[in-house]
Amino acid sequence: MSEWRTVPIKELYHGLYDGPHATPKPAEEGPIFLGIKNVTDEGSLDLKTIRHIHDSEFARWTKRVEPTEGDIVFTYEATLNRYAIIPKNFKGCLGRRMALIRPNTEVVDTRFLHFYFFSKQWRDVIESNKLTGATVDRIPLTTFPNYPVSLPPLPEQKRIAGILSAYDDLIENNLRRIQILEDMAQSLYREWFVHFRIPADILTKAGLPPQLTLTNDSPLGPIPEDWEVKKLGEIATVKWGDTSTTKKAYTEEGFVAYSAAGQDGLLDHFDNERTGIVLSAIGANCGRTWLAAGKWSSIKNTMQLWSDSPRLSTELLYLSTLGKDKWPKRGAAQPFISQGDAKGMQTVVPTAQINGMATSRIRPLFESIRLLEKKNKNLRETRDLLLPKLLTPAS
């Protein structure tokens, strides 16, 4: 390999900027207020759940800096070591406890620097410089410019980044395919169980009238004949997650563990035996659900649900739970869902025949999603094995 050199990181960027030390009023739409939760541990942006700011306030909140394509954003307080590259056409501002650097691409490849932030040598630098407070850890931005970075000449940086990026490109492609499959499942559910528009050829092939007639009144409005609206407590098991075990303990043993923040751990060693639903019951993700298939477990601040009804599969029940606004919540500063609230939530229950027809179409979509997730797990593991070898100077 070419000769490497170690330089202070300030030689690799045009500017270092932190976000505002306040929070704007939320808006229904508009530019993104980029927070810690929008940057994943794996190094990408997650914009599924975002906070908006008003267009009229955008100039105020980007007075110090407006994130642009190629900037690297990172967390410097509370949750450390999250980094992501700002994509093309992004419009938003930095949130609290967020900062960014604008790489000087004449001396450093942006993708190389982004990967470098996940190397052991950089993590050791962060660990030795972080300030541990009473409530949160912090990277002092005043000393950040002097943190050392080891790098080869630019052509070598691009070659290394190209190798590692190939894995990220495959992962991103699989994520897009996963999103398409999820959209297909949600679209079918909306058509059949919200708008009650099941294609005529499917109904007639099943020996049913070619159109559903909404003759049955229910608490959720008119529904087809022989359909019902039921509370979850009547058709599903609803129980709290395992509060005796921590997420760290599960993942160290190789289990999947769902917490209120989502899924973590490996995908091939599990704890439970049936397809179920994990409900985040407390905190920022309160009301968000995940479909947990195969064998799994959920822990503190979550509930576990699965259908006990032959007229509603767990997959259909999961699709009916999507959307944080569907769940009744208590508390203002720290929203939470009680077990009674969860059991009292209502959902549409079709006939057993319609349930079977829908599930036979939806279940394969989720099975494909699980296969793609497993492929991504293998790709990430391979990339992470290569990363220290490629980002360490040859001795």
pLDDT tens for the chain, residues 1 to 395 = 469 999 999 999 999 999 888 888 888 899 999 999 899 888 999 888 888 999 999 999 999 999 999 999 999 998 899 999 999 999 999 998 999 999 999 999 999 999 999 999 999 999 999 998 777 889 999 999 999 999 999 999 999 999 999 999 999 999 999 999 999 999 999 999 999 999 999 999 999 999 999 999 999 999 999 999 999 999 999 999 877 766 565 555 555 666 666 665 433 334 455 788 999 898 778 898 999 876 677 878 889 999 999 999 999 999 999 987 888 888 877 889 999 999 999 999 999 999 999 999 999 999 999 899 889 989 999 999 999 999 988 75
Helix (H/G/I), strand (E/B), else coil: 216: strand
- The whole-number pLDDT of residue 267 equals 33
Residue 18: both structure tokens together: 């932190």
Q: What CA–CA distance (Å, rounded) separates 270 from 266?
A: 8
Taking alpha carbons only, the member of 97, 98, 93 closest to residue 51 is 93
Give, in order, the Cα–Cα distances in Å from 58 to each of 30, 32, 53, 85: 9, 9, 7, 21
Residues 61, 93 contacting (CB under 8 angstroms): yes
- The whole-number pLDDT of residue 221 equals 94
Residues 324, 290 contacting (CB under 8 angstroms): no
- The whole-number pLDDT of residue 269 equals 37
Query: Positive or negative CA dihedral for 230, 236, 239, 245?
Result: negative
Q: What CA–CA distance (Å, rounded) separates 44 from 73?
A: 10
What is the distance in angstroms between the CA of the first residue and the CA of the last residue of the chain? 10
Q: Mind giving me the DSSP string for 199-227?
A: -HHHHHHTTS-SS----B--TTS-B-TT-
For the question of whether the overall pTM of this predicted structure is more than 0.75, the answer is yes
- The whole-number pLDDT of residue 2 equals 63
What is the identity of the amino acid at 242? D
Q: What CA–CA distance (Å, rounded) separates 160 from 157?
A: 5
Q: What CA–CA distance (Å, rounded) separates 189 from 181?
A: 13
Taking alpha carbons only, the member of 338, 242, 251 closest to residue 286 is 338
- The whole-number pLDDT of residue 1 equals 45
DSSP 8-state assignment for residue 365: H
The position carrying tokens 């967390």 is 75
Domains observed in the chain: 5-119+128-152 (3.90.220.20), 228-349 (3.90.220.20)
